[in-house]
């Protein structure tokens, strides 16, 4: 007789533990999958790093960027996407390119632009200057600057601007 009473008491506690565990699992799954993650800012930084490594890696200038005399090559600008292994194309007939990047080479002495490269959709450049709350639907921008020393001893300030829009894929 006493055994039956104990089994009923333990089964109530066992049921309570099962309910707590199930509720915990539901809450964890909801916390993990419930929020969307916006990775556009990280993606723009990765794009800037990839371009920087294409131009200047390990203290060496990309040999396809400059002539032996130290002059910037126009064909590098024309073939920039292929030379740096970039692909901005997207699926679909009427979709616009969700990326933009610009690279500017400034002379160290005068800080005047010596050479520049642009690729992608430049309509997103204005989004970089807007600082408002609720800017989830704006493109995310990343700027990177570094100094580059050529084999001939010339020094350039390299400014890279990379922009990723992709609001439909990354925001609700």
Q: What pLDDT score does 169 carry?
A: 67
**Mean pLDDT of the 112-139 span:** 82
pTM reported for the whole predicted model: 0.75
**Mean pLDDT of the 18-25 span:** 95
Q: What pLDDT score does 126 carry?
A: 80
Of the candidates 60, 16, 50, the residue with the CA atom closest to the CA atom of residue 160: 50
| Residue 80 CB-density burial (10 A; 0-12 exposed, 13-18 middle, 19+ buried) | buried
Q: What pLDDT score does 6 carry?
A: 63
Q: How far is 55 from 61, CA to CA, in rounded Å?
A: 6
Q: How far is 79 from 75, CA to CA, in rounded Å?
A: 6
Of the candidates 101, 75, 76, the residue with the CA atom closest to the CA atom of residue 88: 101
Of the candidates 52, 72, 70, the residue with the CA atom closest to the CA atom of residue 146: 52
CA atoms within 13 A on the CB side of 106: 13
Span 90-122, pLDDT tens digits: 776 557 788 999 999 999 888 899 999 999 888
Average pLDDT, the chain: 85
pLDDT: which is higher, 2 or 125 = 125
**Mean pLDDT of the 23-33 span:** 90
**Mean pLDDT of the 142-162 span:** 93
């Amino acid at each position: 007789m006493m055994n039956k009473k104990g089994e009923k008491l333990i089964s109530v506690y066992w049921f309570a533990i099962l309910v707590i565990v199930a509720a915990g699992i539901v809450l964890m799954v909801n916390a993990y999958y419930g929020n969307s993650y916006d990775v556009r800012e990280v993606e723009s930084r990765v794009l800037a790093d990839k371009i920087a490594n294409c131009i200047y890696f390990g203290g060496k200038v990309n040999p396809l960027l400059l002539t032996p005399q130290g002059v910037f090559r126009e064909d590098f600008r024309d073939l920039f996407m292929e030379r740096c292994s970039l692909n901005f194309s997207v699926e679909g007939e009427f979709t616009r390119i969700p990326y933009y990047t610009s690279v500017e080479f400034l002379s160290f002495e005068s800080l005047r632009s010596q050479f520049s490269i642009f690729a992608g959709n430049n309509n997103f450049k204005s989004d970089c200057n807007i600082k408002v709350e609720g800017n989830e639907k704006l493109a995310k921008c990343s700027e990177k600057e570094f100094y580059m020393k050529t084999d001939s001893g010339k020094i350039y300030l390299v400014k890279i601007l990379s922009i990723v829009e992709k609001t439909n894929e990354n925001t609700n």
